[in-house]
């Protein structure tokens, strides 16, 4: 049995707040991804999805406390903090950010920023690195002679393409994409998503796509995890999540996607996500849930396996409770 | 090309600024209350004949417009007039004073730039730690001190060990060049330190805030994700961007080399431009003042011009 490419086990993140409070942003998050897989991490703003992937690379600020394991091909890269994670940054796991508006340094040429990553990790140097950087730009659909241009000379979509090219500079195994299309207009969004999909297929690249946009996940990813209140509510193949969701939040989330024909009304989920700076008792979604029953306010649901590759954290799936209800 | 456009635009702007300043400079002294001649005559009840004679001698009886063109014409030839007080050419007097001021101010400013930028970067990088707090409170302390008071305190403390005023030791006869330089340096130390400490506060605070701002940018997160070391992130990515506001500050403080030191030069009797301005005001030495103002304008405009050109080099976004 081979271990998955990347496995996250019991990841927890706390932030120190002023006045001695703490915010428990990520709670017992576990998931794993295989080589070449496109995995979605979906949820509302503030559900802990960005925190989760920043924690994967050890990029959270010093106010954050992280526990749990991140296994890359079986090796725990967070074991010794900065020392153990830095060698894996960009060479094994790289990252692109929201819209890429400010993800590129405004006073360096795009080429210099790509070459910097290559030289740092000993991939290539000098003219060789530059020609490789040109090929990378070509791969993402930018003319290689744009290497000497500055980020402000690029449009939003081109910047994101350049950021993707830069992320591929050291041939990583995993690409973390944090809301990569959020700040872009719809046409450009589609192009970027197609590009990510193509690169993942051509290069065998694993992509973890973080987004609040369900249709994006359905379009690009094979599998996804739905996060709520810092926890994973449900994880499984996107098709299963859509057709056979076993967590009310997933179901309501899909129902909340606007129907392009305009025939069905947009449904919203009433209420607000739980406050993460206070202890959560019972199921975090219970106050907003349309199917809450006796155990929900007091008992905390755990992820229960529902099929070979499908898990949900909801008491409705628990035979012990089902018998009662 | 855009670059040439930018340089030409900035140059024209600088030249026009100087010209406007020259004109205002001319008008101010004509509009100022009191007559230039009253002090020149040095006799309280000077006769009208004497006054008229003096006015004629200095060309003050000519129409204002004609005076203005004469003034411009003479300026073009580098003639700033003759000091009322010393009867020496103003340009000669000013150059000498400037020669005394520049090394003193430069020493203090360089100290402030070097030390202030360094501690500013360190404080931003170690935000929230004891290092940061110590650096910020020290910076605030010196920044908020009145220059002349700090000067007087340093004078009180060090007057025994270091010379308390002047530029050279009057009793050092026939010094060798090396002796002379050391002597001047010794005299320079306190006034430079006073200036340097006050500027240091400003530099360290501004560097810190500029650095904090850039360290919070997304491209710093990208740089960290790329696996760069902290040192490289600070030098290559953060400081490079934070340099923009710092450059402005450097240009501004260098521009005020000429004027910013009046208080310090008074406290330490340093025979520089500040001192010259002070005496000229007391003596109603209009040509000297006019010359000093001109020099001040030129240095401010010049350093701003240099900052503009540096910006062009540092920030690719300006080249648009």
For the segment A108-158, what is each residue's pLDDT rounded down to a tens digit? 999 999 999 999 999 999 999 999 999 999 999 999 999 999 999 999 899
Do A82 and A201 belong to one domain?
yes
Please indicate, yes or no, if residue A274 is contained in any of the structural domains: no
Contact present, B239 and B154 (Cβ < 8 Å): no
Q: Is A105–B237 a contact, with Cβ atoms under 8 angstroms apart?
A: yes
pLDDT at residue B29, rounded to an integer: 82
Do A50 and A130 belong to one domain?
no
> Of the candidates B152, B133, B156, B136, which has an alpha carbon nearest to the alpha carbon of residue B144?
B136
Do A244 and A131 belong to one domain?
no
pLDDT at residue A250, rounded to an integer: 93
Domain residue limits at A113: 103-171
pLDDT at residue B305, rounded to an integer: 92
Distance from CA of B311 to the nearest CA of A (A): 11
Residue A325 in this model has a pLDDT that exceeds 60? no
Residue B215 in this model has a pLDDT that exceeds 70? yes
Domains of chain B, residue spans: 2-76, 96-319
pLDDT, average across residues B22-46 = 75
Q: Is B227–A59 a contact, with Cβ atoms under 8 angstroms apart?
A: no
pLDDT band for position B40 (cuts 50, 70, 90) = low
Maximal CA-CA distance, chain B: 85
Q: Which of residues 15-74 of B touch A (CB under 8 A)?
A: none
Give me the percent of chain A exceeding a pLDDT of 90: 70
Do A162 and A258 belong to one domain?
no
Q: Is B218–A103 a contact, with Cβ atoms under 8 angstroms apart?
A: yes
pLDDT at residue A265, rounded to an integer: 75
Is residue A150 within 8 angstroms of chain B, CB to CB? yes
Please indicate, yes or no, if residue A239 is contained in any of the structural domains: yes
pLDDT at residue A49, rounded to an integer: 93
Tokens of B205: 């605070």
pLDDT, average across residues B115-133 = 93
Q: Which of A141, A171, A201 is the last residue of a domain?
A: A171
Distance from CA of A225 to the nearest CA of B (A): 23
Q: Is B221–A106 a contact, with Cβ atoms under 8 angstroms apart?
A: no
Measured between beta carbons, which residues in chain B are less than 8 angstroms from residue A118? none
Among the ranges given (A67-76, B125-134, B255-264, B288-297), the one the predictor scored with the smallest mean pLDDT: B255-264
Do A21 and A142 belong to one domain?
no
Q: Is B316–A150 a contact, with Cβ atoms under 8 angstroms apart?
A: yes
pLDDT, average across residues A67-96 = 93
A36: left (phi over 0), alpha (psi -120 to 50) or beta: left
CB count within 10 Å of CB B196 equals 23
pLDDT at residue A224, rounded to an integer: 96
Do A146 and A184 belong to one domain?
no
pLDDT at residue B316, rounded to an integer: 86
In chain B, whose CA is at the least distance from the CA of A149?
B316
Is residue B315 within 8 angstroms of chain A, CB to CB? yes
Please indicate, yes or no, if residue A300 is contained in any of the structural domains: no
Residue A323 in this model has a pLDDT that exceeds 90? no
Average pLDDT across chain A, whole number = 91
Do A59 and A88 belong to one domain?
yes
Comparing A172 with B86, the larger pLDDT belongs to A172
Comparing B49 with A121, the larger pLDDT belongs to A121
CB count within 10 Å of CB A29 equals 25
Do A181 and A229 belong to one domain?
yes
Domain B96-319 homologous superfamily, CATH? MetI-like (1.10.3720.10)
Q: Which of A235, A253, A269 is the last residue of a domain?
A: A269
pLDDT band for position B41 (cuts 50, 70, 90) = low
pLDDT at residue B260, rounded to an integer: 57
Contact present, A172 and A90 (Cβ < 8 Å): yes
Average pLDDT across chain B, whole number = 87
A230-269, pLDDT tens digit by residue?
A: 999 999 999 999 999 999 999 999 888 887 777 777 788 8
Contact present, A312 and A233 (Cβ < 8 Å): yes
Do A35 and A148 belong to one domain?
no
Q: Number of folded domains in chain A?
A: 2
Residue B318 in this model has a pLDDT that exceeds 50? yes
User: Helix, strand, or coil here: A39?
Assistant: strand
Residue B259 in this model has a pLDDT that exceeds 70? no
B148-185, pLDDT tens digit by residue?
A: 999 999 999 998 888 888 888 878 888 888 888 899 99
CATH of the domain at A34: 3.40.50.300
Is residue A152 within 8 angstroms of chain B, CB to CB? yes
Do A71 and A49 belong to one domain?
yes
In chain B, whose CA is at the least distance from the CA of A113?
B223
Is residue B212 within 8 angstroms of chain A, CB to CB? no
Residue B115 in this model has a pLDDT that exceeds 90? yes
Among the ranges given (A7-11, B165-169, B230-234, B258-262), the one the predictor scored with the smallest mean pLDDT: B258-262
pLDDT band for position A1 (cuts 50, 70, 90) = very low
Is residue A17 within 8 angstroms of chain B, CB to CB? no
User: Chain A interface, mutation test: which of B222, B234, B318, most A Cβ atoms within 10 Å?
Assistant: B222
Contact present, A76 and A8 (Cβ < 8 Å): no
How many beta-carbon contacts under 8 Å exist across A and B? 69
A6-16, strands of its sheet edge to edge: A22-33, A6-16, A64-72, A75-76
pLDDT at residue A262, rounded to an integer: 74
Among the ranges given (A13-22, A212-221, A263-272, B297-306), the one the predictor scored with the smallest mean pLDDT: A263-272
pLDDT, average across residues B280-296 = 87
Cα dist from A83 to A86, A117, A135, B95, whole Å: 6, 18, 32, 59
Among the partner-chain residues B217, B226, B240, the one whose CB lies closest to the CB of A102 is: B217
Q: Is B316–A107 a contact, with Cβ atoms under 8 angstroms apart?
A: yes
Tell me the sheet residues that pair with A65: A14
Please indicate, yes or no, if residue A189 is contained in any of the structural domains: yes
A299-322, pLDDT tens digit by residue?
A: 999 999 998 899 999 999 988 876
B265-280, pLDDT tens digit by residue?
A: 999 999 999 999 999 8
pLDDT at residue B31, rounded to an integer: 82
Measured between beta carbons, which residues in chain B are less than 8 angstroms from residue A112? none
Please indicate, yes or no, if residue A276 is contained in any of the structural domains: no
A41-55, pLDDT tens digit by residue?
A: 999 888 999 999 999
Do A32 and A64 belong to one domain?
yes
Do A198 and A76 belong to one domain?
yes
Q: Is A106–B240 a contact, with Cβ atoms under 8 angstroms apart?
A: no
């Amino acid at each position: 049995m081979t271990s998955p490419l990347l496995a996250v086990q019991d990841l927890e993140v706390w932030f120190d707040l002023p006045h001695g409070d703490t915010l428990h942003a990520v709670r017992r998050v576990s998931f794993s991804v295989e080589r070449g897989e496109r995995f979605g991490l979906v949820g509302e703003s503030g559900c802990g999805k960005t925190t989760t992937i920043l924690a994967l690379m050890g990029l959270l600020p010093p106010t954050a406390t992280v526990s749990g394991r991140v296994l890359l091909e079986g090796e725990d890269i967070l074991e010794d903090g900065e020392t153990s994670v830095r060698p894996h940054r960009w060479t094994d796991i790289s990252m692109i950010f929201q819209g890429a508006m400010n993800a590129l340094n405004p006073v360096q040429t795009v080429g210099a920023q790509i070459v910097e990553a290559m030289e740092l990790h000993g991939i290539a140097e000098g003219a060789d690195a530059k020609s490789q950087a040109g090929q990378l730009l070509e791969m993402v659909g930018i003319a290689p002679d744009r290497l000497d241009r500055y980020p402000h000379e690029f449009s939003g979509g081109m910047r994101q393409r350049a950021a993707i090219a830069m992320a591929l500079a050291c041939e990583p195994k995993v690409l973390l994409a944090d809301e990569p299309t959020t700040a872009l207009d719809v046409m450009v969004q589609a192009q970027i998503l197609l590009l990510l999909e193509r690169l993942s297929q051509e290069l065998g690249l694993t992509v973890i796509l973080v987004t609040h946009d369900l249709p994006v996940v359905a379009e690009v990813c094979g599998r996804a995890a739905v996060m709520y209140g810092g926890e994973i509510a449900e994880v499984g193949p996107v098709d299963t999540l859509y057709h056979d969701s076993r967590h009310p939040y997933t179901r309501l989330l899909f129902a909340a996607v606007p129907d392009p024909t305009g025939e069905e009304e947009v449904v919203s989920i009433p209420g607000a996500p739980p406050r993460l700076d206070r202890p959560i008792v019972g199921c975090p979604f219970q106050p907003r849930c349309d199917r809450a029953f006796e155990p929900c306010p007091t008992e905390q649901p755990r992820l229960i396996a529902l099929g070979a590759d499908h898990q949900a954290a909801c008491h409705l799936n628990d035979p012990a409770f089902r018998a009662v209800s | 090309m855009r670059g040439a456009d930018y340089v030409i635009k900035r140059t024209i702007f600088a030249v026009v600024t100087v010209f406007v300043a020259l004109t205002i400079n001319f008008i101010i002294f004509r509009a100022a209350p009191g007559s230039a001649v009253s002090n020149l005559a040095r006799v309280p009840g000077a006769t009208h004949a004497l006054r008229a004679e003096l006015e004629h001698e200095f060309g003050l009886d000519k129409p204002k417009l004609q005076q203005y063109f004469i003034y411009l014409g003479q300026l073009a030839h580098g003639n700033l007039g003759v000091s009322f007080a010393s009867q020496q050419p103003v340009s000669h007097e000013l150059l000498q004073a400037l020669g005394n001021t520049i090394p003193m101010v430069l020493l203090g400013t360089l100290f402030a730039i070097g030390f202030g930028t360094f501690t500013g970067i360190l404080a931003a990088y170690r935000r929230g730690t004891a290092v940061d707090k110590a650096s910020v409170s020290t910076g605030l302390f010196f920044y908020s001190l009145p220059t002349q008071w700090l000067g007087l305190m340093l004078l009180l403390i060090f007057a025994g060990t270091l010379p308390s005023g002047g530029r050279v030791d009057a009793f050092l006869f026939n010094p060798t060049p090396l002796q002379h330089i050391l002597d001047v340096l010794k005299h320079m130390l306190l006034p430079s330190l006073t200036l340097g400490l006050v500027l240091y506060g400003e530099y360290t605070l501004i560097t810190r805030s500029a650095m904090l701002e850039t360290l919070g940018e997304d491209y710093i997160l990208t740089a960290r994700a790329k696996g760069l070391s902290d040192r490289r992130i600070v030098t290559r990515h953060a400081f490079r961007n934070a340099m923009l506001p710092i450059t402005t500050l450097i240009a501004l403080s260098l521009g005020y080399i000429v004027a910013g030191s009046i208080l310090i030069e008074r406290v330490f009797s340093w025979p520089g431009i500040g001192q010259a301005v002070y005496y000229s005001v007391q003596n109603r030495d209009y040509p000297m003042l006019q010359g000093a103002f001109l020099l001040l304008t030129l240095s401010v405009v010049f350093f701003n011009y240099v900052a503009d050109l540096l910006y062009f080099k540092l920030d690719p976004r300006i080249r648009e």
